[in-house]
């Protein structure tokens, strides 16, 4: 397996140098950007596996940059920021960040989360290569989940490019139709992390997925809440 390329998008030089030292010590290739313009240029010229990004950046902030990334790219993304309020965290996850860590950070925790995310991402790519050999898409209730593009196609033809967490969640539901999925199971499948108290990552992701389905009124609930247990996929899968 090749060495992962990590891009640090951080305008504070001291923090950027600290992160660079931490990740180089772990054996990663590290690239640096001070703002969004530099980030986009580096992405054009390099194969980036993971972005570690602050929210407070000169020019476009991290939230806007993350939204731009998710429109065209499926790069793993971790927000590392001093903004620790719940609204920013939820918004970051809704935009499609894979994880959110606040400053001051524990270098050990950061490297563990990074390693877990990269391992899952690389394993995922191998898994999807195998999936694509068997099936190109899944169809249910007029919707289509396209494996190659990782997009959700509505019954009216509208295409939604899914962030990594949403795609993982929907695919997991489809592969386990009718089975109750706990928040802990879903979070592990989506991020590789164990569920902790007050972690709303799963709920935020499910809410985003439901917004796609609710954009088309068809009277059928596709993901239902099982109170006290988790969520269940209730869609009607078409036979391949």
pLDDT of 150 higher than 90: no
pLDDT value of residue 27: 94
Which pTM does this prediction carry?
A: 0.69
pLDDT digits (tens, 9 = 90+) for 93-145: 777 788 888 888 899 999 998 998 888 777 666 655 555 556 788 999 999 99
Verify that 29 and 90 share a domain, yes or no. yes
pLDDT of 74 higher than 60: yes
Total of domains in the chain: 2
**Orientation of helix 201-214 relative to helix 183-191, angle to 10°:** 90
pLDDT value of residue 179: 94
For residue 50, the domain's CATH number is 3.40.50.2300
pLDDT of 220 higher than 90: no
Examine residue 130 and state whether it is found in any structural domain, yes or no: no
Verify that 19 and 118 share a domain, yes or no. yes
Cα separation values, 177 from 185, 202, 233, Å: 14, 18, 5
Examine residue 154 and state whether it is found in any structural domain, yes or no: yes
Q: What is the mean pLDDT of residues 7-21?
A: 95
Q: Give the single-character DSSP code of 96.
A: T
Examine residue 238 and state whether it is found in any structural domain, yes or no: no
What does the mean pLDDT of the chain come to? 86
- What's the domain range around 183? 135-233
**In percent, how much of the chain has pLDDT > 70?**
91
Examine residue 240 and state whether it is found in any structural domain, yes or no: no
DSSP string over 170-194: HHHHHHSTT-EE-HHHHHHHHHSPP
């Amino acid at each position: 397996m090749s060495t992962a390329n990590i891009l640090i998008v951080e305008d504070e030089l001291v923090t950027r140098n600290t992160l660079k030292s931490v990740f180089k010590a772990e054996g990663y290739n590290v690239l640096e950007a001070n703002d969004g313009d530099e980030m986009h240029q580096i992405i054009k010229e390099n194969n980036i596996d993971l972005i570690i990004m602050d929210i407070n950046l000169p020019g476009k902030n991290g939230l806007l940059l993350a939204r731009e990334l998710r429109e065209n790219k499926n790069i793993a993304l971790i927000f590392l920021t001093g903004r620790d309020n719940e609204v920013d965290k939820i918004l970051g996850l809704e935009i499609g960040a894979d994880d959110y860590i606040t400053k001051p950070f524990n270098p050990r925790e950061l490297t563990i989360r990074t390693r877990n995310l990269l391992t899952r991402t690389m394993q995922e790519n191998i898994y999807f290569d195998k999936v694509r050999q068997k099936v190109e898409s899944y169809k249910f209730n007029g919707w289509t989940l396209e494996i190659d593009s990782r997009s959700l196609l509505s019954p009216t033809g509208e295409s939604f490019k899914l962030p990594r967490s949403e795609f993982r969640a929907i695919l997991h539901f489809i592969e386990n139709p009718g089975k109750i999925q706990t928040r802990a199971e879903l979070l592990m499948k989506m991020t590789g992390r164990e569920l902790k108290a007050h972690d709303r990552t799963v709920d935020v992701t499910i809410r985003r997925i439901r917004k796609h389905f609710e954009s088309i009124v068809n009277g059928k609930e596709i993901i239902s809440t099982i109170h006290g247990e988790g969520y269940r996929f209730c869609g009607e899968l078409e036979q391949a």
